[in-house]
Structure 1
Amino acid sequence: MEQVLCCCKVYISESRNKAALDAIEMAAKLYPEAPIVNKFEDVPYNRVGYTLVSKMGPDPNSTSPLKNAVFKMVEAAFQEIDLGRHCGSHPRLGVVDHICFHPLLGVSLDHVAGIAKSLAADVGSRLQVATFLYGAAHYEGRLLDSLRRQLGYFKPNATGNQWAGGPESETLPLSPDEGPPHAVHRKGIVVIGATRWVDNYNVPIFSNDMVTVQRIARRVSGRGGGLQSVQSAALAHGKGIIEVACNLLDTSKVGGNEVQVEVDRLARKEGLDVGVGYYTDLSQDKIIECYLKQLSS
């Protein structure tokens, strides 16, 4: 019988508070049918990404271990982390900055979009946090980068290209899809979506010249006339390093190797040295392999 698998990536604005991360991970373990198969911590960004996988039932509206596990993680994150005390060099809109569901095997995008919408309804009503939908989970299919721009995601609010503290105002520029019509200072807001598979690939550039690296990042991206299906941003990543952080929306067309070559080419023109890029998660195939190994053990 064919496996029917769905994946969820959960990005939380914290990597330095071990007690908080332990509590979040313990919450997920209440649903062993939806295990965490990968965890990626980034201290300069003060951000952690979790990848969970679960089998899916035929009805997206039925009880989903994956949705329940993610909800418990979100609930724990809000209990353990105060956005008002957070600081890091990665943009974020809330304690739980971003959640995305992806079909893996034998399941449709519409199916996982149903789970995303169900989770958003629970987060909005039960946790009272403004929640925004994107991708297949949104009725107009709006794009993540477009939503983030409208919400002011890419504008640092502290010196040194840092994001610090909670939202400056409770007023939101858009009406949320679920939850109260305002932001909560301690929690921020949540963005939840459903899309085809996305890889994240970051390339370090050894420089403190943010303007120049921003120009490189723009030229790498499809929006800037570069690699189609690539979204990119320049983010400070420790002393003397700025990363070109990329979302690869269609890995069958453009992968990390192509991004690496293009960043190298553009950086050489600017006289800058480039390091070896890296993925922030396992590949789609590797995630499936890790899940099946956990299941068999």
Structure 2
Amino acid sequence: MARPTTLLACCKLYISESRNDAALRAIEQAARGGGGGAVVVNRFTDDAYNRVGYTLVAPLTPSPAPPPLRHAVLGMVRAALEAIDFGAHAGTHPRLGAVDHICFHPLAHASLRHVADLAGAVAADIGDELQVPTFLYGAAHREGRTLASIRRQLGYFKPNSSGDQWRGAPETDALPVAPDAGPERPPRSKGVVVVGATSWVDNYNVPVHTGDVEAARRIARAVSERGGGLPSVQAMGLAHGGGVVEVACNLLDPARVGAEQVQGMVERLAAGEGLSVGKGYFTDFSQDKIVDLYFRSAANTEG
């Protein structure tokens, strides 16, 4: 398969479940049954957060048929909504629904406009076919609102159980803002879905050796751009079990501010709290590695 002119789209799909093996098997089977073209290049599971992230890649074809990534993602979302009861979910990572977040990124020679159109189509599929309220952000939203802003409007960052846990569905099914697709009220067993399109984002988490979630939140606030810290960095302080908390970061412009800068600042801030820090980790591969994995898988399939 020739690489130079291939347009690729990447989708990161975050599911609010990591402990139900039968549910995850059904979701992964749906990805494999997506009609070909889409490849799952990574699965990142975090049992403390009770969350799993899938990374899919597929070509953007000029044919009038729907892109293979649209079909594969919709199949996985459908399987997740059928297999997971959001009302019974609990974990130490915030979430808005059984399928919490779907983000599309351009790879290779694709443009942000390409994946924005794809994100909009997937959001419409979820809202119209699966009847789940769906919210757009980034290049997929007409005003370009950010992921953080729609999450904040929907109460994403506020734990609803014991200070550091998110448990079950919200007590009310009234949404503070109208969805871009789907019904006005979310099913309690499904919640809502946020779908967007952005340039590449790195997710980098730094463990801090303490059970003090408030300390992690202070550090996260100081690291984040919103708190006056590093530009293009968003951060949350989250419990992670076993006497460890994490400063979980989104690096919105990793070419400008990368993991080394985040690691160094977390270490300095933690030292000021009298705390030690472990080596941070990415939750996914680099863009180049993901492209390479896709082409290797595609070549093996063709062979």
TM-score range, shorter chain: over 0.9
1:41 has 2:45 as partner: yes
1:28-51, Cα deviation, whole Å (9 max, x unpaired): 111231010000000000000000
Q: Over aligned residue pairs, what C-alpha RMSD do you find?
A: 1.0
User: Which of the numbers 272, 275, 296 marks the counterpart of 1:269?
Assistant: 272
Task: Determine the structure 2 residue equivalent to 1:179.
Answer: 182
SS of the equivalent of 2:172 reads coil
Q: Secondary structure at 1:275's aligned position in 2? A: coil
How many residues align? The count is: 296
Q: Partner residue of 2:58?
A: 54
Amino acid at match of 2:152: R
Task: Measure, in 1, the Cα distance between the counterparts of 2:196 and 2:163.
Answer: 30
1:59-208 equivalence runs, <5 A: 62-208=65-211
CA distance in 2, matches of 1:15, 1:209: 24
Q: Deviations over 1:53-101 (max 9, x none)?
A: 0011237x74110011000000000110001111100000000000000
CA distance in 1 between counterparts of 2:160 and 2:132 reads: 22
Specify the SS of the correspondent of 1:182: coil
Deviations 1:149-204 (A, max 9, x none): 11000011111511111121110000000000111100000000000000100001
CA deviations 1:207-228 (Å, max 9, x no partner) are 1222222111011011111110
Q: TM-score if structure 1 supplies the norm length?
A: 0.98
Q: Secondary structure at the match of 1:192?
A: strand
Runs of 4+ aligned residues of structure 1 deviating over 2 Å after TM superposition are none
Q: Give the % identical residues.
A: 59
The 5 Å alignment of 1:251-290 reads 251-290=254-293
Worse-superposed segment, 34-43 or 1-10: 1-10
1:238 aligns to 2:241 (yes or no): yes
CA distance in 1, matches of 2:252, 2:295: 25
Match of 1:210 in 2: 213
Contact in 2 for aligned 1:167/1:184 (Cα 8 Å): no
More divergent stretch after superposition (93-102 vs 49-58): 49-58
Distance 1:116 1:137 in 2: 6
Q: Letter of the aligned partner of 2:153 in structure 1?
A: Q
SS at match of 2:66: coil
Q: Which amino acid aligns with 2:111?
A: S
* Structure 2 letter corresponding to 1:258: Q
1:122-149 CA-partner distances (Å, limit 9, x unpaired): 1001000000000000000000011101
CA distance in 1, matches of 2:163, 2:219: 19
Unmatched tracts of structure 2, length 5 or more: none
Deviation digits for residues 207-254 of structure 1, max 9, x if unmatched?
122222211101101111111010000010013111000000001111
Q: Distance in 1 between matches of 2:223 and 2:65?
A: 42
1:7 aligned residue: 10
1:167 touches 1:183 (CA, 8 Å); kept in 2?
A: no
Q: How far off is 1:27 after superposition?
A: 0.3
TM (norm. structure 2) is: 0.96
CA distance in 2: counterparts of 1:88 and 1:221, whole angstroms: 23
